[in-house]
Structure 1
Amino acid sequence: MTYFQRGLLSAVLIVIGFFFWPLLGVGCLIAWSVYSDIRDEPERKRQAAKVAARINESVTVEDMRFTCDSPAEEAFFDTMVSAYKMTTGPGCIAGEGIKLRTQVGLGRLHIGRSYAWSQFRGDFLIDEKLVVEIDGETWHGSRDAKARDAARDEVISAEGYTVLRIPATVVFNSPTEAVRRVEEARRRLHAAA
């Protein structure tokens, strides 16, 4: 509901509340929530602007590597940096026609009272469209984990991303195969565009 609709509802409930007192309390609570939301609107906008500005800050390869959560992610990251000769870029690292970001918030963006967060976090985002997940057997091997990953991929895909899952064993045993899979997924994305 808009502020106006909620304010109107609050006013109606307060007027009716003079005859049926419990509605007076409900009307006052709604009025307080409207006031609170209007009061907090500048902070929400400031937080959204802060998030948008951080996305385009200059980052280094070392900064990005530091954000990797596992040895498999670090190995994949190092392989991609080496294969594409990546260097510092605005909000990402880039090289030879490819852009890469790590630990990217995906899913609907939620702006809270003092911070912003996303529904999910992707291991890597390539060219702003390809989400690469490095799946270790410990966290992604069980039936429940695979079902959870499939549901997560569905939400992320609904936002227009393509999800590529690469097993950690491939990253460790054949890093060139991991790069080949990324390149193949990029080719399919560019062909579909």
Structure 2
Amino acid sequence: MSAKKLLLLAGDYVEDYEIMVPYQALSMLGFTVDAVCPGKKAGEHVLTAIHDFEGAQTYSEKPGHRFALTADFEGVDAADYAGLVIPGGRAPEYLRLDQRVIDLVRAFAGRPVAAVCHGAQVLAAARVIEGRTVSAYPACRPEVELAGGIYADIAVDDAVTDGWLVTAPAWPAHPRWLAQFIAVLGVQVAI
């Protein structure tokens, strides 16, 4: 396992900030971040969606960017990575239906995992959150609880760490979510 390599799960209509910001921030810290998507290869793209909180009963959605994948999903071996990042958006709703994704997520149980927003849907489907405190977008609360997780109803800009697992409700939590994740990875940043 390389302490410098992280795996990032992607899929079409992943939330734009929730894939772009962690990818860039973790890369800036010196990690090699392999962004993968089932059925796609390095150099191909996933489409992103921008979700915003504009006073409606749920978030709004607008077209985002084309995010370039950096590795092939087919060749991924969890043993090669120090941790896993699962962004939200709509991608988790169908990624969780792919048994290869579920097996991959299960292989990371007990090792550093960061999931934000709807990323908890993948964790719930993989059945790796039983007894763990997990934050997610509020609409995912039933799935977290049905999978045996303890839903953390926290502010949209907060995050929670439970052992190896770092979760947050949405992209406004990036500063706390990423800070907690790098702490679980054993990284210290001096300024």
TM range (shorter): 0.3 to 0.5
**TM-score, scaled relative to structure 2:** 0.34
Larger Rg: 1
Higher relative contact order (CA closer than 8 Å, sequence separation 6+) = 2
Q: Please give the TM-score of this superposition, normalised by the length of structure 1.
A: 0.34
